[in-house]
Structure 1
Amino acid sequence: MKSNADGHTPTIVSAERQVSSRIRFRHVSCFLAIAQERNLRRAAERLHLSQPAVSKTLVELEALAGARLVERGRQGATLTPAGEHFLRHAVGVSHALESAVAALAGAQAPATVVVQLGALPTVASGLLPQAISRLHAQRPHAGVRLRTGTNAELLTALKAGELDFVVGRMAEPSMMQGLSFELLYAESLAVVVRPHHPLLAEPGGGASLQSVLAYPLVVATTGTVPRHHTETMFQSHGLRLPAACTETLSTSVARLLALRSDTVWITPERVAQDDVDHGWLVKLPLPTTGSAEPVGILLRSAVAPNELSSTLLDILRELAQASTAGKHHRKKAG
């Protein structure tokens, strides 16, 4: 088959034109709602439509695309590779329309610029408070919307265009499609207790992991990286993490348990660093070798961050670099 002047065959060009002439924004918005909710019923509720209407719209879109975009099942809706590919472009279409509508509606009064940020709970209490404070000092009228959740939840929201970027961890290859990762720092676990905790008076100069098991523990929830490293740490010493732990992703709850009782808190070290620096908590001198985990910035590969996001990202990079240098200095001083 002969190609025309731009290198495309007539059949392919006509097929593309046929799809583009028939696809509607309702198809795109329906697909985005499914991608964001990962559930047809919740997508229908979000769009204020019936579930059959959403299913019908999705079937129409898949017929136009000539490919299955969503796998439906009891566990919800999962994007196929074709769906993941279409999602990257659908997010851009949605954002372009939103920008156009905002330009028309807000021609006389510009809206407040907001950065949509996602972060793991164990990361959010580290660099982010200082980073957001610096951002507000530079950009007093900028808004920040911070969402915390599991890594999988945040990456799903990032792919669907609900977040501008995420501060989190690398995921399995299937979750990283269309995303990039930039390392900020690596952190190990810390085992922390309140001052005057009985473990600090252990004979022989310090506590052991075996002696830690005599006290209530607060740890990350099952399925998270900190929890995996916590279990591995005990297993490497021939011990098992007891079932009677308090499991939570809430750093505020875990912190208060450690401050107000004999509970031992096992957490990524930066989460408790401020409390340790102020003397409100004490880090037990226990080996946590092998628990270091990289934390970094996750972005959509095909989308450049907006100006406000870029400003906050630069602040995070600067703080991470300074924090890492400070950590090395403290180790040498110790």
Structure 2
Amino acid sequence: MEKNGLFSQRIRLRHLHTFVAVAQQGTLGRAAETLNLSQPALSKTLNELEKLTGTRLLERGRLGAQLTLVGEQFLTHAIRVLDALNTAGQSLNYLPEQNNALVRIGALPTAALGILPEVIGQVHKQQPDLTLQVATTNNPMMLAGLKSGELDVGIGRMADPEMMSGLSYELLFLESLKLVVRPNHPLLQTTVTLSRVLEWPLVVLPSGTVPRQNAEDLLHSQGCTLPTGYIETLSASLSRQLTANFDYVWFVPSGAVKNDLRQGSLVALPVAPTGIGDPIGIITRIDAPLSAGVQSLINAIRKTVPD
């Protein structure tokens, strides 16, 4: 109780704004620019916050800042607090909402590539005046955005019960890991094994993401480890260009390359993934009624994704 009381007395809004900005931007430098702060000042505020919480909320490294497990949980509450204050401020100058034809969507990058283009095309044919705002983000940020009311619907992964509290989840499909290359890659002329795959340059998602963990599990299952010299990025467009134009092997969730494989611009190597795949589903708030636009979007998603 004494520790909680001290935290409540000393926590300031600047701590929450700084923490959320770093979580959203991914690096201290970009977060500092967003908040118009110097990077040393931002680092000092983060250190103060972690001292108040008594635990590390962010792992800082050469590739940016990654949320720890405790950080992911704290992020949900931090966004909720800031959103509540924002809502309170807006209520002072409330005007009746005129634009009901707006749907705010949060989606994992792979889901945005694999599902949304076709879905958005269908929905806009039926409702050309409907405005769709799409935010591609990681799963913790999406869940936090749904809980705070910043997002209306999400396409993402099931999380632990605490993070899913207040949210509804509808399974769409299981997303498997694929190893893809360009159609004329030299690997396709040989018997493909993981040891031979590792002789070529790799493109993987950042450490801490589910697809990266799946890639490492696959390697470990056959006594291999990720070699040095790989490309690590969240950018599907960069990964696609590297794979299509050079000899990279891309470890990627199936949803991100569904159309590439269908069109033949990329080819999947015959390497069986471990496990049954990651469940991807529709996520909404339990206590928020769905607008007509959100319902139309969800119906289009259900029609697009095969049973």
Q: Taking structure 1 as reference, are residues 184 and 98 closer, same or farther at Cα in structure 2, changes over 3 Å only? A: farther
Q: Taking structure 1 as reference, are residues 98 and 230 closer, same or farther at Cα in structure 2, changes over 3 Å only? A: farther
Tell me by how many angstroms 1:34 deviates: 5.0
Contact 1:122–1:249 under 8 Å retained in 2:
no
Q: Taking structure 1 as reference, are residues 139 and 257 closer, same or farther at Cα in structure 2, changes over 3 Å only? A: same
Tell me by how many angstroms 1:129 deviates: 0.5
Point out where structure 1 has 5 or more consecutive residues left out of the alignment. 1-29, 47-69, 104-109, 325-334
Tell me by how many angstroms 1:156 deviates: 1.5
Contact 2:206–2:234 under 8 Å retained in 1:
yes
1:162-203 CA-to-partner distances (Å, cap 9, x unmatched) read 11111010112222222221111112111110011000001x
Q: Distance in 2 between matches of 1:286 and 1:246?
A: 20
Contact 1:91–1:161 under 8 Å retained in 2:
no
Tell me by how many angstroms 1:92 deviates: 12
Tell me by how many angstroms 1:102 deviates: 3.6
Q: Distance in 2 between matches of 1:197 and 1:280?
A: 12
Look up the match of 1:240.
Answer: 225
Q: Taking structure 1 as reference, are residues 289 and 72 closer, same or farther at Cα in structure 2, changes over 3 Å only? A: closer
Q: Taking structure 1 as reference, are residues 268 and 73 closer, same or farther at Cα in structure 2, changes over 3 Å only? A: closer
Alignment of 1:1-334 (within 5 A): 38=20, 75=57, 90=84, 97=91, 101-103=95-97, 110-111=98-99, 113-202=101-190, 206-290=191-275, 292-320=277-305, 322=306, 324=307
The structure with the larger Rg is 1
Contact 1:215–1:263 under 8 Å retained in 2:
yes
Tell me by how many angstroms 1:127 deviates: 0.8
- Partner of 2:103, secondary structure, is strand
1:238-291 CA-to-partner distances (Å, cap 9, x unmatched) read 101123211111111111111000000111112112111111111111111315
After the TM superposition, which segments of 4 or more aligned residues of structure 1 sit over 2 Å from their partners? 33-40, 70-80, 89-100
Q: Taking structure 1 as reference, are residues 132 and 111 closer, same or farther at Cα in structure 2, changes over 3 Å only? A: same
TM-score (norm 1): 0.67
- Specify the code of the residue in structure 1 equivalent to 2:268: K
Look up the match of 1:59.
Answer: none
Q: Taking structure 1 as reference, are residues 78 and 270 closer, same or farther at Cα in structure 2, changes over 3 Å only? A: closer
Tell me by how many angstroms 1:297 deviates: 1.2
1:308-328 CA-to-partner distances (Å, cap 9, x unmatched) read 1111011111111x3x4xxxx
- Partner of 2:114, secondary structure, is coil
Q: Distance in 2 between matches of 1:316 and 1:91?
A: 33
Q: Taking structure 1 as reference, are residues 221 and 291 closer, same or farther at Cα in structure 2, changes over 3 Å only? A: farther
Report how many residues are paired.
264
| Further displaced range: 211-220 or 302-311 | 302-311
Identity, in percent, stands at 36
Contact 1:116–1:144 under 8 Å retained in 2:
yes
Contact 1:35–1:160 under 8 Å retained in 2:
no
- Partner of 1:226, secondary structure, is helix
Q: Taking structure 1 as reference, are residues 156 and 266 closer, same or farther at Cα in structure 2, changes over 3 Å only? A: same
TM-score (norm 2): 0.73
Contact 2:172–2:282 under 8 Å retained in 1:
yes
Contact 1:158–1:166 under 8 Å retained in 2:
yes
Q: Distance in 1 between matches of 2:197 and 2:211?
A: 17
Contact 1:35–1:79 under 8 Å retained in 2:
no
Point out where structure 2 has 5 or more consecutive residues left out of the alignment. 1-11, 23-30, 36-51, 59-70
Contact 2:72–2:140 under 8 Å retained in 1:
no
Contact 1:158–1:165 under 8 Å retained in 2:
yes
Q: Distance in 1 between matches of 2:17 and 2:286?
A: 18
Q: Taking structure 1 as reference, are residues 233 and 95 closer, same or farther at Cα in structure 2, changes over 3 Å only? A: farther
Q: Taking structure 1 as reference, are residues 78 and 187 closer, same or farther at Cα in structure 2, changes over 3 Å only? A: closer
- Partner of 1:271, secondary structure, is helix
Q: Distance in 1 between matches of 2:232 and 2:162?
A: 27
- Specify the code of the residue in structure 2 equivalent to 1:128: L
Q: Distance in 2 between matches of 1:288 and 1:194?
A: 19
